[in-house]
Structure 1
Amino acid sequence: MRTSGVVIALSLCLLPRPARAQDALALTWSAPPSCPSRDEVVARVARLRPNLTRAASGLRATATVTPAPRGRWRVRLRTEVHGDVGERSLEGRTCALIADATAVVLALASDALPDAPPPADHPALPESVVQLDDPESALPRPVLPPPPPSPTRRQLALGLDAAVDPLAFAGAAIALALRGALELGALRVELGLAQQLPTTLSGAREGTGADVLATTLSARACAMRARPMVSIGLCASATGGVMWATAFGLQRNDVAAWPWAAAGGGAALRVGPGRGRIAVIARVEALANLTRPRFVVEGVGVAGEVYALALWTSLGVEMRWP
């Protein structure tokens, strides 16, 4: 009888053991002591997938549980199924919910095993557990000082313009202008000196009239919007100067001078490489004349008068440094 008992005991030892989830799941579980243990997580996987057997081995997982802001918990889970790696982060109110969510993810991952039986259901994450697209997004970020402002680009420019100047008379006159400019980033500040070429005004009596010319000084500020080859801007300007008139055809041909001032605004267009030395610049401005001299030839009458409004157009080239 004793021999029979030994044979029976040996036979029981040689019988195959029931397959367990622990045999099919290689889980590394790292969590604080207050959280469920690794065995509890594996047991929950076994309840979700009771047919997970040794033949389905090939699922490896690493789960790291840490406290999250506002008293919540977070798990960072990495799974590997026959070389296919997946990672995700989950966050929930309690560590127990995080353990339940980990078990759900592992159960679903086991469905991808080659020898896994068809799943009977598809468990869902607990309602209060959320998946983070960016695991670091919920972490408080350090307050970094703002980056230092980029240095303002400075450029000097010197240009020569030809302009159509309709300021003084019932007709247009040609003017030549020399200007200098300073650019500070998007701000452009200009000073210009213009000389109007002489224009003849005829008097009411044949052979009489006056030759008129003007010298003006202008200041202009523009807000430029730069592009690689073309820059456009809006400008405001103030202009002042002196007009001279020399009479002819009279017994006494006097010379007279009048002060003149105007203010206005318009648009500027510059064509040329952003950091190039040479550029072409065009400008159109509307001007309101603040003073309106009248040209009166003695004994003849009014020969001309400055308009209340005028349009200044110019085209020129400029050289810039650096």
Structure 2
Amino acid sequence: MFRVNRLCPATLVVAFVAPLAALTFGRASLAHAEPADIAFTWNVPDECPSRAHVLERVGEIAGGHMAEASHVEVDAKIVQTNAYAMTITIRRGGEVETRRATSASCAALGDAAAIIVALALDPSRGAGEPAAQTPPSSSSPLPPGGDLEHGAPVQAPAPSMFPASSATSQRPPPAPSTRPSPASPVKPFGLRAGAVFDVGTLPAPVFGVEARFMAVFGPVQLGLGGELFAPVRETYSAATGAGARFQLFDLGAFGCFAPTRGPWRVGACAGADATWMTLEGIGVRVPSSSTLSWPTVRAGALAEYTLTHQAFLFARADAVFALADRRAVLTTSTGDQTLHEVPVLALRLALGLRANIF
């Protein structure tokens, strides 16, 4: 049985770049070298480091080897679910090598990619060099930009087109970056709260609030909670002031499928609720109150925008369907008078915040 624990940043970096840290080579200066013969494809989300930035880091690390390198093709792709996942494939001559890693920080993956590409550009790394590798150590240098978290398996480097350099290399590691450490991994459970606006269920449009417990697993969101609306008063006799006070609340569950597109999540939702409407007579000879209840289902659209690593702004629009015929009736000496009939279809809009807290 395998168990994945959260490791300290240095140990996580060693797990991914230990074969690379031993290969890291210094340079006499940080002056830019002539462009290398490199075809570099960088397919990443908008918030990740740019292609130009990664190539600049490659130049800083590789130094003079940029001008000496043979033709290298690099295809790197980063996708985001709960964390960032990178796949980088390097082709040199007839050799092909693929590496994978995940991290909560896309910047950390960009720096790891720069190290891998810089190693591929060193023509002196050949089969004739010693294959011994420097043993992993908790003091191994971190790649600038933060730690890499243990996630997708990292392919073993041997046999590799980038064999390790001798452990006696005196070249210094690259200068550390000043970027802040990445945030902690996305927590799957949290709360969602916001304002909600209903048109159709009550005699007049009304505002309310919603609160829900959330569970998020990649593009899938599950929620459990309810909505409470402000009271609505309707007068049915101007002469006597007779009328009724209505209030609506519901409890239910829903699910959404909203894939990530850069900082956005956009998708569809569906759910089911138990709905209650309380009525209280006002201005009548014998005031009384009662409660109506019925089941409802809803279907709609969801859009979320990422504010921080754990906080999101959401907007939702739902069509709400009442599954039973419900009407409020006032009994008078002259007969029954219908005060309100719940329609089959109503519109509900919501705007608020979702926060992952545990």
TM-score, length of structure 1 as denominator length:
0.51
CA distance in 2, matches of 1:305, 1:167: 10
Instruction: State the Cα deviation string for residues 299-318 of structure 1 (Å, max 9, x = none).
Output: 16111111111111011112
The correspondence for 1:163, drawn from 196, 199, 203, is 196
**Paired position in structure 2 for 1:279:** 312
Structure 2 residue 357 is the aligned partner of structure 1 residue 303? no
Partner SS, residue 168 of structure 1: coil
Q: Could you tell me which residue of structure 2 aligns to residue 266 of structure 1?
A: 300
> CA offset at residue 169 of structure 1?
2.5
1:218-233 alignment, distance < 5 Å: 218-233=252-267
Give the drift of 1:168: 2.4
Runs of 4+ in 1 over 3 A off after TM superposition: 134-137, 149-154
Provide the residue aligned with 1:194 in structure 2. Answer: 227
Please say if 1:248 is aligned against 2:282.
yes
Q: Aligned partners of 2:347 and 2:189: how far apart in 1?
A: 27
Distance 1:214 1:170 in 2: 11
Provide the residue aligned with 1:80 in structure 2: none
- Structure 1 contact 204–301 (Cα < 8 Å) conserved: no
Is 1:209 aligned to residue 243 of structure 2?
yes
Query: Identity percentage over the alignment?
Result: 22
Counterpart secondary structure, 1:281:
strand
- Structure 2 counterpart of 1:213, one-letter code: Q
1:184 to 217, 233, 252: 217
Query: Is the CA contact 2:186–2:309 (under 8 Å) kept in the aligned structure 1?
Result: no
Can you give the 5+ residue segments of structure 1 that lack an aligned partner in the other structure?
Answer: 1-133, 138-148
**Does structure 1 conserve the Cα–Cα contact (< 8 Å) formed by 2:186 and 2:356?**
no
The structural deviation recorded for 1:257 is: 0.5
Q: By how many angstroms is 1:242 displaced?
A: 1.4
- Counterpart CA distance in 1 for 2:94 and 2:303 is 50
| 1:262 to 1:167, Cα distance in 2 relative to 1, 3 A | farther
Partner residue, 2:353: 317
Q: Which has the larger radius of gyration?
A: 1
- Distance in 2, matches of 1:136 and 1:193, equals 58
Match of 1:239 among 262, 267, 273: 273
Residue 135 (structure 1) shift: 7.4
Please give the alpha-carbon distance, in whole angstroms, between the structure 2 residues aligned to 1:249 and 1:136: 88
SS of match in other structure, 2:261: coil
CA distance in 2, matches of 1:150, 1:220: 30
TM-score normalized by structure 2? 0.46
Q: 1:150 to 1:244 in 2, by over 3 A?
A: farther
Aligned residue pairs, count: 180
Deviations 1:80-113 (A, max 9, x none): xxxxxxxxxxxxxxxxxxxxxxxxxxxxxxxxxx
Q: Which amino acid aligns with 1:309?
A: L
Larger RCO, structures 1/2 (Cα 8 Å, 6+ apart): 2
- Does 2:208 align with 1:175? yes
Task: Looking at secondary structure, tell me which structure has more strand per residue.
Answer: 1
Mapped to 2, the partners of 1:277 and 1:135 lie a distance apart of: 44
Whole-Å separation in 2 of the counterparts to 1:135 and 1:243: 72
Distance 1:158 1:135, change over 3 A: closer
Rounded to whole Å, the distance in 2 between the matches of 1:209 and 1:289 is 24
Offset at residue 203 of structure 1 (A): 1.9
Cα distance, 1:175–1:135 mapped onto 2, change above 3 Å: closer
- Given that 2:254 and 2:270 are in contact with CA atoms closer than 8 Å, whether structure 1 keeps it comes out as yes
Between the aligned partners of 2:320 and 2:199, the Cα distance in structure 1 is 10
Q: 3-state DSSP class of the match of 1:291?
A: coil
Once the two structures are superposed, residues 144-181 of structure 1 have per-residue CA deviations (whole angstroms, 9 ceiling, x without a partner) of: xxxxx959975112122111112423431111111111
Give the conservation status (yes or no) of the 8 Å contact 1:203–1:302.
no
Two-structure CA RMSD over aligned residues (Å) = 2.9
1:311 maps to amino acid: L
For residues 215-235 of structure 1, give each alpha carbon's deviation from its aligned partner in whole angstroms, at most 9, with x where no partner exists: 210211001111331111111
Contact kept, 8 Å, 1:165 with 1:313, in 2: the verdict is yes
**Structure 1 Cα separation of the partners of residues 152 and 349 of structure 2:** 35
Contact 1:203/1:301 (<8 A) preserved:
no
Decide whether the 8 Å contact of 1:288 with 1:310 is kept in 2.
Answer: yes
